[in-house]
Amino acid sequence: MKMRKFFALKILVVLTVFATTSCKKGNKGGSSATGWKINSKEGGFQYNTKYKEQETAPGLVFIEGGTFTKGKVQDDPMHDWNNSPNQQHVQSFYMDETEVTNIMYMEYLDWMKKVYPPENDNFKKIYDGVVPDTLVWRNRLGYNEVMTNNYLRHPAYQNYPVVGVSWVQANQFCVWRTDRVNELALEKEGYLKENSKVTDVDADKNFSTHTYIIAPTKTYGGDEEILNGGKKKSKTANDSTGLYATRSTGILQPDYRLPTEAEWEFAALGMSEIRSYNVHRGRKKYPWNGQYSRSGKRVTRGDQNANFKQGDGDYGGIAGWSDDGADITAEVKSYYPNSYGLYDMAGNVAEWVADVYRPIVDDEFSDFNYYRGNVYTKNKIGEDGKVVIIDSDSIGYDTLSNGKVVATVLPGQIAQVPVDDEETYLRTNFNKSNHINFRDGDKPSSRYFRDFAGDDEGDSEGNNGPKKESAETRQNMYNSPDHRVEVDSLGNMIKEYDKNSKRTSLINDEVRVYKGGSWKDREYWLDPAQRRFYPQDMATDYIGFRCAMSRVGSKSKGKGKRKTPR
């Protein structure tokens, strides 16, 4: 009797296993939601189910995110009190291994010059608007003409960090770099004609990542020979024709961009080497270990770990045995990297970050991916119901406060407009396009706030309120001088200087944070927590930049998925 029960139980187990296995085999490649087959040759839902993780884009290194103490950890002899310590968390991201160099920026200039030749009157302002300001090297009481004439273009400086680039220009470089990287990726996968990025590109026939995603047939001016890649692709997470890659292919990289202040400071600290079971011990003063600017290692003991100003009239030490090996900027990778593999996160040149400057970081409202500067836009839709693509006759320009004219949107890109009530109605997470002044710097935050017949409901410019105050009556917290530059019908520049004697601040919505000490700064500024600001449309001989990119997917790189304990 027991024997029969044993065999019956054994048969039941075998049948159960067989049924389970058959079920799994039957659903192989099928949807967990519907059971339909994914990526079927006959059609249906197409998706890249073999995607593993984001590839590291050119020039970048991976920074695993986490929590850290953002803000001052040292004394404040400047008495700025603009970076009080606060706990923040940043998501994983990527950052340039080095600062953007002259040769990297020269490649950008070369492409712009070929696609938008400055000898063409329609494009002259485009090229002029992206060229760095080489006059930043001049000094009223110093002879620096050798740098003015040679620093950007001479091969002796090719691997030195680019300077003379404004925050606005740095952002334009990021857009260009995104497009060139994704253009090459699509070419390698056969979606674009080989070498079309060099042989077929011109002002009205070039590649924009966002245009390709939204309206792929409009890329390259609609040239089908380029877009078809010379052959028809098979259907793998593409559109219905199988010709165009989408975000779901995983081929296209996220945008290159400037790092946020929180990201930059987190990366500069390089705390991975002092972590212990999710607890960061001690406080780091520099991107390297130790409390001093000189190396304590036996082989390099006494050498400086960064390029900075040693003292009055001392930019590099005594001739013959230089303290830091440089008097102006130094070639990138001249000093050891931090624990993330990032070079020159202290010294050499200070670096632009994405944030609009405010003295106070509002950690009470946000302690996750903190960033001040959000301006939300959407694609402009034409009367035909399709997105509006910029052409050579509709290039947008902007005259900056210093009189420089820059192109704000280029041919092949999608025109953008501010988000409106369609996107903001009844939302709790944002309610207008421009949130730069949110909880800090808007009129209700001002010490001198006065209600102008309900104008408190509008933004800092009074755009949404029933009444707009004049410049004379406005009493904002950040009322910096408001210089104006206009261009008349003949192209002459009219400069109007703000001579108001009641201005009390240099801060406005167009000043950006820059971080890290430079070759021109004393040791105090090497602390990653230090922060300063500068107008976004102006440049100097000591501020450069590096790019960042968001991480999509898992927080950790190359690690397997977490398993639920049984």
pLDDT one-digit tens code per residue, 289-303 = 656 555 555 555 556
Interval 445-469 mean pLDDT: 45
- Residue 458 pLDDT > 70: no
What Å distances lie between residue 341 and 207, 275, 335, 522, 535, CA to CA? 32, 16, 11, 24, 30
Tens-place pLDDT, residues 333-392: 998 899 899 999 988 999 999 999 998 898 889 999 999 999 999 999 999 999 999 999
- Residue 453 pLDDT > 50: no
pLDDT classification of 404: cutoffs 50, 70, 90: confident
Least confident of 106-110, 180-184, 546-550, 561-565: 561-565
Looking at the DSSP bridge assignments, the partners of residue 521 are none
Interval 100-112 mean pLDDT: 98
- Residue 165 pLDDT > 50: yes
- The pair phi, psi for residue 153, each rounded to 5°, is -110, -20
Residue at token pair 């001049």: 138
The per-residue pLDDT for 476 is 61
- Measure the CA–CA gap between 91 and 552, rounded to whole angstroms: 10
The per-residue pLDDT for 383 is 93
- Residue 412 pLDDT > 50: yes
Q: Please provide the size of the chain in residues.
A: 566
The per-residue pLDDT for 23 is 44
Least confident of 200-214, 218-232, 281-295: 281-295
- Residue 213 pLDDT > 60: yes
- Measure the CA–CA gap between 197 and 189, rounded to whole angstroms: 14
Q: 3-state secondary structure string, 155-218?
A: HHHCCCECCCCCHHHHHHHHHHHHHHHHHHHHHHCCCCCCCHHHHCCECCECCCHHHHHHCHHH
Count CB atoms within 10 A of the CB of residue 411: 24
Interval 27-51 mean pLDDT: 83
- Tell me which amino acid residue 14 is: V
**Which three-class secondary structure state does DSSP give residue 256?**
strand
| Higher-pLDDT residue of 330, 478 | 330
Q: Do residues 203 and 211 make contact, with C-beta atoms less than 8 angstroms apart? A: no
Handedness of CA 320, 325, 331, 335 (dihedral sign): positive
Q: Do residues 469 and 392 make contact, with C-beta atoms less than 8 angstroms apart? A: no
Mean pLDDT, rounded, of the chain: 83
- Measure the CA–CA gap between 231 and 235, rounded to whole angstroms: 13
- Measure the CA–CA gap between 337 and 506, rounded to whole angstroms: 35
Interval 456-468 mean pLDDT: 40
| Tokens describing residue 99 | 């600062």
pLDDT classification of 553: cutoffs 50, 70, 90: very high
- The pair phi, psi for residue 542, each rounded to 5°, is -130, 5
**Which three-class secondary structure state does DSSP give residue 129?**
helix
Query: 241, 226, 186, 228: which is closest to 209 by C-alpha?
Result: 186
Query: 540, 555, 543, 439: which is closest to 139 by C-alpha?
Result: 540
Say how many CA atoms lie within 13 Å of 556 toward its Cβ.
Answer: 6
| Tokens describing residue 122 | 């329609």
The per-residue pLDDT for 110 is 97
E strand or H helix that includes residue 26: helix 2-26
The per-residue pLDDT for 534 is 96
Q: Do residues 549 and 254 make contact, with C-beta atoms less than 8 angstroms apart? A: yes
| Higher-pLDDT residue of 564, 15 | 564
| Higher-pLDDT residue of 281, 337 | 337
Q: Do residues 242 and 233 make contact, with C-beta atoms less than 8 angstroms apart? A: yes
The per-residue pLDDT for 75 is 67
Q: Do residues 271 and 65 make contact, with C-beta atoms less than 8 angstroms apart? A: no
E strand or H helix that includes residue 5: helix 2-26
Whole-number CA gyration radius for the chain: 28
Q: Do residues 333 and 87 make contact, with C-beta atoms less than 8 angstroms apart? A: no
Residue at token pair 């070039």: 206
The per-residue pLDDT for 278 is 47
| Higher-pLDDT residue of 332, 47 | 332
**Which three-class secondary structure state does DSSP give residue 493?**
strand
Helices 167-188 and 102-115 cross at an angle (nearest 10°) of 80
Looking at the DSSP bridge assignments, the partners of residue 279 are 276
Extended strands (E) in 372-465? 377-379, 396-399, 405-409, 416-418
Sheet holding 350-356, edge to edge: 531-535, 511-515, 350-356, 543-544
Least confident of 142-151, 267-276, 304-313, 553-562: 267-276
- Residue 173 pLDDT > 70: yes
Q: What percent of the chain has pLDDT over 70?
A: 78
- Measure the CA–CA gap between 103 and 131, rounded to whole angstroms: 13
The per-residue pLDDT for 25 is 46
pLDDT classification of 73: cutoffs 50, 70, 90: low
- Measure the CA–CA gap between 113 and 406, rounded to whole angstroms: 15
CA 153 to chain centre: 25
E strand or H helix that includes residue 565: none
What Å distances lie between residue 164 and 96, 178, 221, 541, 558, CA to CA? 19, 22, 33, 6, 38
**Which three-class secondary structure state does DSSP give residue 141?**
coil
